[in-house]
């Protein structure tokens, strides 16, 4: 670890502490050159798969964007923040469990629709109407019959 004060590369760990939840490790370090101390934090990095869009372009998975899409469908619906968080967690868990490096946007959309159908049928219909690009009323009727 490079010293932030003198840029020397030889530092030693003086103290190590784990956070209460166990997801972060805090290390106090000392530079062997300038003798100054500094703190570093170590966390695990979760690598969610890249999203492959319809046009073939690839973008990084964006949790906040997914949340915003779900919240738009859930607008003025009696669904708690905890339910939305749990749904997003289940989606991310499925993506991680798949082990895939890339996921088609269609698959991601299906996961979102499954979660919305589970927590609020009206939000599910709202999301599906935009996601599936319905062009006539018959498509709506078919979706509602499925519910």
Q: Are residues 133 and 80 in the same domain?
A: yes
How many structural domains is the chain composed of? Answer: 2
Query: What is the chain's pLDDT, residue by residue, as a tens digit (147 residues)?
Result: 899 999 999 999 999 998 767 778 999 999 999 999 999 988 877 788 999 998 999 999 999 999 999 999 999 999 999 999 999 999 999 999 888 999 999 999 999 999 999 999 999 888 887 776 666 667 667 767 777
- Residue 15 shares a structural domain with residue 32: yes
Both 23 and 69 in one domain: the answer is: no
Distance CA 4, CA 28 (A): 13
Residues 117 and 59 grouped into a single domain = yes
**Strands 50-52 and 58-59, how do they pair?**
antiparallel
Whether 84 and 22 share a structural domain: no
Are 59 and 120 in the same domain? yes
Give yes or no: residues 32 and 54 share one domain: no
39 and 17 within one domain: yes
Residue 1 lies in a domain: no
pTM given for the model: 0.64
- Which pLDDT score is estimated for 19? 76
Q: Which domain holds residue 18?
A: 11-43
Contact 24/18 with Cβ under 8 angstroms?
yes
pLDDT (0 to 100) of residue 22? 77
């Amino acid at each position: 670890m490079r010293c932030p004060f003198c840029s020397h590369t030889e530092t030693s760990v003086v103290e190590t502490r784990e956070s209460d939840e166990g997801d972060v490790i805090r290390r106090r370090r000392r530079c062997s050159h300038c003798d100054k101390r500094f703190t570093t934090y170590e966390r695990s990095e979760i690598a969610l798969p890249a999203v492959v869009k319809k046009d073939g372009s690839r973008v990084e998975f964006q949790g906040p964007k997914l949340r915003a899409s779900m919240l738009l469908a859930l607008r003025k619906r009696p669904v708690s923040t905890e339910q939305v968080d749990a749904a997003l967690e289940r989606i991310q868990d499925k993506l991680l469990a798949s082990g895939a490096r890339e996921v088609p946007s269609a698959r991601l959309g299906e996961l979102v629709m499954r979660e919305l159908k589970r927590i609020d049928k009206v939000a599910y219909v709202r999301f599906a109407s935009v996601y599936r690009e319905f062009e006539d009323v018959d498509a709506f009727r078919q979706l509602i019959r499925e519910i």
